[in-house]
Structure 1
Amino acid sequence: MALVQLASLKVFLKKPFVTSDVLSDFLFGRFKLMNCAELENSSLKNKTALVTGCNTGIGYATCLKLAKAQARILICCRTMQKSIATADSLRRELGIHDKGRFCCFEADMENLDAVTTLAQDIIQLNEQIHFVILNAGVMQAANKKITKNGLELHFAVNHMSHFLLTYLLMPQLIRSAPCRIIVVTSNAYEYGKPEQLADHRFQSFPYIAVSAYAQSKLANILFAYELKKRFKDKGIDVFAVHPGAVLSDIYREEWLLHAPLVGFFTQKVLSRIMRTPQEGGKTIAALLGDALFSSSLREGYSDACFSNLYWKDCKPQPVNSNLVNDISAEFLWRLSISILKDLGILNDERLEMVELCEKTN
């Protein structure tokens, strides 16, 4: 375990300027949300939102804000039991008696076959989807894990599952336009390396948990970039959101939080400085409503800036163009398609359907 932590430290030390930004976000992030527009003043009645990974943390906090704004929510969790428990918790917390407000789905995002089934189940609902929040994720699995589909765990859950789900739903999302897609990423993407995306199983490069996570977060923002470029003229708006350093269930694999005695004190300290899931979900919630786009927060920003891809602390942010650009984004898109074709998950009919949507005016 000490060797794992040492390897992770070396990753941080190689990019000191990025690390200083990450540390600042970690230590002072709670103080950067003072002027964040809230969703509570918006009404999303007659709107439907799809949220992945929503039984705990940022996902649940986002569902709570959506439910308060009267949206209908398609709840996607690892098991049906967790999805139903999430819906029940939202009903109790908000006093909601309308059972139609929530629709529960099961999908283990490690398993791309399960994601395909999830997409088919959602399509069968035959209803408009106005918001998609791609939130499910894993972090810091100390030992490399290869999924049933032969993919490294971080890459599979954090990127490929959401790429596949969005790709299969795209014809329905275009019919639902205007539609907003929010991809939950992290400023850790700046530790990623586009030239290593093809080695997503870490066969040529040594596996380091923090590097695997960073690669998956780079994949998130590149996916959002390419998605925005391909479908912005179809009424699909895409945002990549860094929620900040949030103390949530995503750290379930982190030994420092669960080791005897050490874990107790670590959690006590981190709970004082890291954001709560409710705070971490503020930028997501603001992008779901219209308050942010019409508020005084626009002062000092151009209209073009407010259509920016990358957001944190309820503000548009520039991306590192050395990492996020047309070449890297298109490469990842083609790589993802190739992986799904090789697995037999995407056939020619499905590919042609989405390509036709892309070309049709």
Structure 2
Amino acid sequence: MKTEQKPLQSGYGPDTTAREVLAGQDLSGKVAIVTGGSGGIGLETTRSLAGAGATVIVGARDVAKAQEALAPLKNVEVFRLDLADPSSIDEFAAAFRNSGRALDSLILNAGVSFPPTIKDARGLDTHFATNYLGHFQLTVGLWEALKRSGNARVVALSSIGHMTGPIDFDDLQFTKRPYDKVVSYGESKTACALFAVALDKRGREQGVRAFAVHPGAILSGLTRHLSNAELAAWGVIRNEDGTLTSAGGFKTAEQGAATSVWCAVSPMLDGKGGVYCEDVDIAEIVPSDSPLQHGVRSWAIDPASAEKLWAISEDLLHLPHGQAIPGSRD
């Protein structure tokens, strides 16, 4: 049954932390993968899940750096994963499959924002390729492990950036229109939300549910490519030592990780999926022209757009249609 895109009145809110979400839960014996799980909200996601007893596998581009950041934590393993490199994705997925373990939670947390290189080696838009398509490929590679769990969840990090507009399916790679980094980023995050819709449709009969998450505004490493003037427009100041300060309106990393963790393990979401969540609840649908910095716009949860994007993704990865993840397409 399709889950209604309507708040559950979860009792949590924007100030809730990941540890508060997990209070009293024992995740011993559970296995989670967190991409980009060694920094920012990814680190807090890893820390919270491992602290509750789960084994957490972290995918990171710089293994040594990630191992250093995660050294104080128990139950954590680190493997190389570069979402802009298809061979790296295949190797990571194969290594996990070969371990024979079931995968209970796959948290697609890694991403880029406004990178200096706007095209990857394949000529694809960097935002789209890294934030969305790499995670699509990874999920396909891990599908059998997710099914083995019998009750798995996939959490795709989207963003309020999706409000910039729907995906331009006629020009995904910005070959016809002038490149706009804000639009590019927003479309990649809309793609992540649509991915949850299409994936949940295929996985729900196989014991795999999917969710999209807006973590909230966080002062993280994703801001490093923004100029001082661009940061100032958001009320943020870059100090001489590189740290950032703001007048408010931003979540801490612990608060930013809360919705990801909630979607990954909360019993409140048993039997649910295919929805966009924020502030540790299912988000409300808001009008397309709303200026509000919350809620989900209809184009990010549109089933027809989700199916169209899925088919395009199969083509880009040279996967036979309908065979990447067989499942319900009703």
Q: Does the pair score TM above 0.5?
A: yes
The correspondence for 2:103, drawn from 129, 149, 154, is: 129
Whether 2:70 is the aligned partner of 1:84: answer no
Q: Describe how 1:91-102 pairs up with structure 2 within 5 A.
A: 96=74, 101-102=75-76
- Check conservation: 2:16, 2:255, Cα contact below 8 A: no
Q: Describe how 1:1-361 pairs up with structure 2 within 5 A.
A: 32-33=14-15, 38-90=21-73, 96=74, 101-141=75-115, 143=116, 145-194=118-167, 196-256=168-228, 263-264=238-239, 268-270=244-246, 272-290=248-266, 292-293=268-269, 307=273, 309-317=275-283, 318=285, 319-341=296-318, 346=319, 354-355=324-325, 357-358=326-327
- The verdict on how the C-alpha distance between 1:246 and 1:284 changes in structure 2, with shifts beyond 3 A counting, is same
- The verdict on how the C-alpha distance between 1:284 and 1:132 changes in structure 2, with shifts beyond 3 A counting, is same
- The verdict on how the C-alpha distance between 1:204 and 1:354 changes in structure 2, with shifts beyond 3 A counting, is closer
**Cα deviation 1:316-344 (Å, max 9, x = unaligned):** 11343244312111110010110111xxx
- Check conservation: 1:53, 1:135, Cα contact below 8 A: yes
- The verdict on how the C-alpha distance between 1:308 and 1:228 changes in structure 2, with shifts beyond 3 A counting, is closer
CA distance in 2, matches of 1:172, 1:35: 29
**Cα deviation 1:53-94 (Å, max 9, x = unaligned):** 11210100000100110100111101221332233142xxxx
When the two structures are superposed, what TM-score results if normalisation uses the length of structure 2?
0.82
- The verdict on how the C-alpha distance between 1:49 and 1:322 changes in structure 2, with shifts beyond 3 A counting, is closer
- The verdict on how the C-alpha distance between 1:35 and 1:197 changes in structure 2, with shifts beyond 3 A counting, is same
- The verdict on how the C-alpha distance between 1:268 and 1:162 changes in structure 2, with shifts beyond 3 A counting, is closer
- The verdict on how the C-alpha distance between 1:242 and 1:339 changes in structure 2, with shifts beyond 3 A counting, is same
Matched with 1:11 is none
- Check conservation: 1:242, 1:311, Cα contact below 8 A: yes
Q: Which runs of 5+ in 2 are unaligned?
A: 1-12, 286-295
- The verdict on how the C-alpha distance between 1:165 and 1:34 changes in structure 2, with shifts beyond 3 A counting, is closer
RMSD: 2.8
Q: Output the amino acid matched with 2:327.
A: E
- Check conservation: 1:283, 1:313, Cα contact below 8 A: yes
Higher helix share: 1
**Cα deviation 1:233-268 (Å, max 9, x = unaligned):** 111111111000011111121122899x96218955
Tell me the SS of whatever aligns to 2:298: coil
Indicate the percent of aligned positions where both proteins have the same amino acid: 28
CA distance in 1, matches of 2:165, 2:95: 34
Pairwise CA distance, 1:117: 1.5
Q: Which has the larger radius of gyration?
A: 1
Number of corresponding residues:
300
Q: Output the amino acid matched with 1:178.
A: N
When the two structures are superposed, what TM-score results if normalisation uses the length of structure 1?
0.76
CA distance in 1, matches of 2:248, 2:124: 36
Pairwise CA distance, 1:293: 5.0
- Check conservation: 1:144, 1:207, Cα contact below 8 A: no
CA distance in 2, matches of 1:291, 1:126: 26
CA distance in 2, matches of 1:353, 1:307: 21
Tell me the SS of whatever aligns to 2:239: helix
CA distance in 2, matches of 1:160, 1:254: 23
CA distance in 2, matches of 1:102, 1:60: 11
